[in-house]
């Protein structure tokens, strides 16, 4: 059976053009970009081009792009740099719905004596900007807020938040791994100091990331070693993947409109049809300020893992914020922070689309999912047949 991949916030397929661009750099053009000879030098030139391609996608200048190994490394590098370069400041502001790359790092830093403010979110996954503003203190070294949430797709007002930080002389970092390539981002008109990108979320391979560091921002390297990346990240460059990411960013710029038209239309169709066909279901998160490719839907009184395994029988790939799939015994921290009731949180499914999805695929899911939910509800002691009213929360 053909795989129907609706889990693109987890990872994406490497685009055929991207694969083609990177392949020669494994075998034929394996030179070290730092070498003096022209065999290596030609790779160095290609890296420059990739840096320009990445910079162009986010309105940056090439010197502001540091290649890293992944989004997590970029996040760690950003926060640690901010703390090291301002040793007198001991406070971090972030949110309760961040990716573990930020959340776990901040928990670790709390153990080290730093003070961390985790801003709460409302039922739609939004932060309160007044509360955010009040959390900024003279002791605040850095704010780190994600641009778009990986589980719900909810977009934070990053530009406004960054402006508020800048006016107080506070560094601002954003984990933008889900946002880059899906919504327009322009660093030339922004107050953001640092921004993380992950290659495999936008059709480049796994194992390549970027940390954007605004020109003039003090930076202390996370990986200390050779002079690569202008002494900002030691280690021989992952040349095939950097070249791949450059190509992926060029494609993302071309496909941005498609993301916000075709992909969005497919997402909306999937969402609306499922809500219409399956009683006691709802969307988690702000439906207005949201990535065009993501929907997080809860089906009351069933558990997400069962839904995923039954979808798997049809080769449909999605993910869930249920306890059984979260790797812990509680539903996702994002849904809990939003106060999604337990009856709903356990049965949440995230579908995340890409430009490679087709209408046929979406129709197939719309056809199959209602009976899956019905089967599981038939086994659930909480589901009463004929129950059509969602309890008010």
Helix axes 38-57, 239-258, angle to 10 degrees: 30
State the residue for tokens 């075998």. Answer: 27
In angstroms, the Cα distances linking 128 to 135, 156, 185, 191, 240 are: 11, 10, 22, 19, 42
Q: Is residue 390 within the footprint of another protein (CB under 8 A)?
A: no
User: Given 106, 249, 317, 324, which residue is catalytic?
Assistant: 324
Q: Where are the alpha helices (DSSP H) in 200-346?
A: 228-231, 239-258, 264-277, 304-312, 333-337, 342-345
Q: How far apart are CA 13 and CA 93, in angstroms?
A: 34
Is 26 one of the binding residues for another protein (CB under 8 A)? Answer: no
| SS3 category, 162 | helix
Query: Would you count residue 309 as binding another protein (CB under 8 A)?
Result: yes
- Binding-residue pattern over the window 110 to 149 for another protein, x denoting contact by CB under 8 A: -xxx------------------------------------
Residue with tokens 């089967």: 375
Number of chain residues interacting with another protein (CB under 8 A)? 27
- Integer Cα distance of 232 and 53 in angstroms: 20
Under the binding rule (CB under 8 A), the answer on residue 382 touching another protein is yes
In whole angstroms, the minimum distance from the beta carbon of 71 to another protein comes to: 22
Q: Which is nearer to another protein, 29 or 324 (CB)?
A: 324
Q: Which is nearer to another protein, 199 or 304 (CB)?
A: 304
| DSSP 8-state code for residue 213 | E
Whether 70 is catalytic is: no
Full DSSP string of 222-235: SS-SSSHHHHTS-S
Give the binding range for another protein (CB under 8 A) out of 13-21, 205-213, 348-356, 379-387: 379-387
| DSSP state, residue 88 | T
Instruction: Report in angstroms how near the CB of residue 186 gets to another protein at its nearest.
Output: 38
Measured from the Cβ of residue 10, the count of other Cβ atoms closer than 10 Å reads 15
CB within 8 Å of 74: residues ≥ 6 apart: 66, 68, 175, 196, 197, 198, 209, 210, 211
CB of 324 to another protein, least distance (A): 3
Tell me what percent of the chain is helix, strand and coil, each rounded to the nearest 5.
45, 15, 40
Work out how close the CB of 55 gets to another protein at its nearest, in angstroms, rounded to a whole number: 34
Asked if 343 is part of the footprint of another protein (rule: CB under 8 A), the reply reads: yes
In terms of CB distance, is 238 or 296 closer to another protein?
296
The yes or no reply on residue 3 touching another protein (CB under 8 A) is: no
Nearer to another protein, 26 or 382 (CB): 382
* 79/158 with CB nearer another protein: 79
Binding mask 312-331 for another protein (x = CB under 8 A): -x--------xxxx--xxxx
Question: Is 378 among the residues that bind another protein (CB under 8 A)?
Answer: yes
Q: List Cα–Cα distances, 248 to 11, 51, 203, 261, in angstroms.
A: 14, 12, 6, 19
- Output the smallest distance, CB 383 to another protein, in A: 8
- For another protein, give the closer residue by CB, 113 or 386: 113
Residue among 71 and 304 whose Cβ is closer to another protein: 304
The 288-307 site mask, x for binding another protein (CB under 8 A), equals -------------xxx-xx-
Which residues are identified as catalytic?
A: 324
List of residues contacting another protein (CB under 8 A)? 111-113, 301-303, 305-306, 309-310, 313, 322-325, 328-331, 342-343, 346, 378-382
């Amino acid at each position: 059976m053909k795989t129907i991949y609706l889990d693109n916030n987890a990872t994406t397929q490497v685009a055929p053009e991207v694969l083609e661009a990177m392949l020669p750099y494994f075998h034929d053009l394996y030179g070290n970009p730092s070498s003096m000879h022209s065999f290596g030098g030609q790779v160095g030139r290609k890296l420059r081009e990739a840096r320009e391609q990445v910079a162009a996608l986010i309105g940056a200048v090439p010197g502001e792009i540091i290649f890293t190994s992944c989004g997590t490394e970029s996040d760690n590098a950003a926060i640690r740099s901010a703390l090291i370069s301002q040793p007198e400041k001991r406070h971090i502001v972030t949110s309760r719905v961040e990716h573990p790359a930020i959340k776990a790092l901040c928990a670790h830093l709390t153990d080290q004596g730093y003070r961390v403010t985790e801003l709460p979110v409302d039922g739609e996954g939004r932060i309160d900007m007044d509360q955010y503003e009040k959390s900024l203190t003279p002791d605040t070294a850095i704010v780190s807020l994600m641009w778009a949430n990986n589980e719900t797709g909810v977009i934070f007002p990053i530009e406004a938040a960054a402006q508020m930080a800048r006016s107080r002389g506070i560094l601002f970092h954003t984990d933008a791994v889900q946002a880059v390539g899906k919504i327009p981002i322009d660093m030339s008109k922004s107050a953001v100091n640092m921004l993380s990108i992950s290659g495999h979320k936008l059709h480049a391979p796994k194992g390549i990331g970027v940390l954007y560091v605004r020109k003039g921002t003090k930076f202390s390297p996370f990986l200390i070693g050779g002079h690569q990346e202008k002494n900002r990240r030691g280690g021989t460059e992952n040349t095939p993947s950097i070249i791949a990411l450059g190509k992926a960013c060029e494609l993302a710029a071309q496909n941005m409109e498609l993301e916000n038209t075709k992909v969005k239309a497919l997402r909306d169709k999937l969402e609306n049809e499922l809500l219409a066909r399956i009683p006691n279901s709802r969307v988690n998160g702000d439906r207005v300020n949201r990535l065009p490719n993501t929907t997080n839907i809860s089906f009351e009184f069933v558990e997400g893992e069962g839904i995923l395994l039954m979808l798997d029988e049809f080769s449909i790939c999605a993910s869930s914020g249920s306890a059984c799939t979260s790797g812990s015994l509680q539903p996702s921290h994002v849904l809990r922070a939003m106060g999604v009731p337990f009856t709903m949180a356990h049965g949440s499914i995230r579908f995340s689309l890409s430009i490679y999805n087709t209408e046929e695929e979406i129709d197939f899911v719309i056809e199959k999912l209602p009976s899956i939910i019905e089967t599981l509800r038939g086994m659930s002691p909480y589901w009463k047949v004929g129950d059509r009213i969602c309890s008010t929360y």
